[in-house]
Amino acid sequence: MRTLADSLLVFIAVYPIVSAAVWIAGGVLFAFLRERGPQPELQPGEGPPVSVLIPAYNEAVDIGNAVRAALRLDYHDLEVLVLDDGSTDDTAERARKAGSVIHVSACSATTSTRERRSGSIRARARHGGNT
């Protein structure tokens, strides 16, 4: 009886250490064998299209940098939509100047919810998503 209890105690003490070592070894092997290999390049039309939505309200100071940063993403089918929520400064104009793939949707405080969603609807509709 004493040896069974000792064996069970050793198993309970050693099992977490052994299983942790197996998980760590598996992770390291995966990282070296799978993740380090050559990654396939997506050709135009192979990956899903991506829309970047940037909400903006009186962001004239920062909108240009935000749009240019989004346009620098290395992806073949990318669009950037700036959703201008009725800014009183020149946010819309600066967004247009920052890149050529910009849609500015000007809204005001009295704009309906459906009209406010027009930017996201436009993005999903362009790529065939549900509205």
Confidence of residue 125 (pLDDT cuts 50, 70, 90): very low
For the stretch 35-77, pLDDT in tens is 666 767 777 777 788 888 888 888 889 999 999 999 888 887 8
Sign of torsion, CA 30 32 36 39?
negative
pLDDT at site 105: 58
**CA–CA dist 98, 111 (Å, integer):** 26
Distant-in-sequence contacts of 11-16, Cβ < 8 A, 24+ apart: none
pTM: 0.54
Q: How many other β-carbons are positioned within 10 Å of the β-carbon of residue 99? A: 16
